[in-house]
Structure 1
Amino acid sequence: MKRKILMSTVFTFICHMGLLQSHCQMPCGIYHDELVFNQIDQYIETMYKGITELKNSKFSTPFERNNFIRWVSLKDSASDEIAVLITEYFLQQKIKPGEPDTPKRLVSAHKMLFELTAIKQNVDLKMIEDFADEWENFKQMFHVLNYECQIDIIKRRKRERDFELKRTGETNEKLQEKIPTSHEHSHEHDDAHPHTH
């Protein structure tokens, strides 16, 4: 009987595992705009370099042919990664229905997704530049004046603390230089007595 109950419980759990999902597409607190911006910026650089390499390839040796294929794959992969971030981070989480900028943000996101498909089908640097321009405009739609994420605050505080420690360390070193290291003072008396300095 216990075995049947256990098996039934396991079976029910397995059947319903697909229904167990988090409330966010990505775990809260892990991603923030600047991190995603930097990731997409790096993917854009990768696509740009990939197309540059593809255009410069002579395609004459096996090594060059191999690298050609690898650059195509890398360029396409970077395009796919950007599309995933735009979809999962921005469309599914950041662009909210009913907000004043939503239509403008949606049009821009759709334009970028469309351009990413074209980039995969071509080796035109102008397409990358056009995408990068649209991306810069899109980023500005999410810029919050005086916003500083918690990770940046922690990093800034650590830099300030490190600077202060370095500064006080230098001050302590200068003070140590001024303190005499040997017993170089005269006594007005000849009595031998212990000194504490």
Structure 2
Amino acid sequence: MKKFVMVLGIVFSSFFATNVYAHCQIPCGIYDDGARFTLLYEYIATMDKSISKIKELSKKTDAYSKNQLVRWVINKDKHAEKFKKILWQYFFTQRIKPVSPENKDKYHKYLREVELIHQLSFYAMKVKQNVDTKYTQKLIELLKEFEELYTGKKDKDHHH
């Protein structure tokens, strides 16, 4: 009986469990690249603020500050993961299509987009490992380059 209840609990939990994805992976045709870029910039800003709060709270010794410190670390790491998820599940998997090397211009762009996604993911990982805003600044720099390459628009006034 105990096993049955446990199995039933697992089945019930998995039935109602949901995963959050950057976008569905069916060909619905509803995409909003701009919204994804806005989210990516917001995630960087959140990681950056988290780093500042971690540094500030690390100097304090009271229980409340320690509790908040842990929460800011979790927040920073969670947003780094969300950032990578959009890069890989939305852009890499769904939006950036493989290109034949015979089409040199498009292939060069494709390779640079893939390279930038890898670099962005690497620096998101560095944000998780460190508390240095040089990594969030690198994310901004690389994301601007990726956005300009991906959209084909050079935006002088990033409002993100």
Fold shared per TM-score above 0.5: yes
2:51 — aligned with what?
A: 51
* Equivalent residue number for residue 39 of structure 2: 39
The answer (yes or no) to whether the contact 2:50–2:73 under 8 Å persists in 1 is: yes
Q: Post-superposition, which runs of at least 4 consecutive aligned residues in structure 1 deviate over 4 A?
A: none
1:102 pairs, out of 87, 100, 110, with 110
Letter in 1 for 2:120: M
Matched, 1:128 2:142: no
CA distance in 2 between partners of 1:52 and 1:26 (Å): 39
Alignment map for 1:112-123 (pairs within 5 Å): 112-123=120-131
Amino acid at match of 1:47: M
Partner AA of 1:117 in structure 2: M
Cα distance change of structure 1 residues 26 and 50 upon mapping to structure 2, 3 Å threshold:
farther
In structure 1, what residue type is equivalent to 2:32?
Answer: H
Q: CA RMSD in A?
A: 1.6
Kept in 1, the 8 Å contact 2:127–2:136? The answer is: yes
Counterpart of 2:85?
A: 84
CA distance in 2, matches of 1:91, 1:76: 21
Calculate the TM-score normalised by the size of structure 1. 0.58
User: Post-superposition shift, 1:59?
Assistant: 3.0
Structure exhibiting the larger radius of gyration computed from Cα positions:
1
1:70 and 2:71 matched? yes
Per-residue CA shift, 1:156-197, capped at 9, x if unaligned? xxxxxxxxxxxxxxxxxxxxxxxxxxxxxxxxxxxxxxxxxx
Structure 1 CA distance for aligned equivalents of residues 70 and 150 of structure 2:
36
Partner SS state of residue 151, structure 2: coil
Aligned partners of 1:139 and 1:73: how far apart in 2? 27
Task: Give the superposition deviation at 1:30.
Answer: 4.4
- Contact kept? 1:95, 1:102, Cα under 8 Å: yes
Determine if contact 1:59/1:68 at 8 Å carries over to the other structure.
no
Q: Is the 8 A contact 2:113 2:150 kept in 1?
A: no
Equivalent AA in structure 1 for residue 98 of structure 2: P
Structure-2-length-normalised TM-score: 0.71
Higher relative contact order (CA 8 A, sep 6+): 2
Q: How many residues align?
A: 122
Amino acid across the alignment from 2:48:
Y
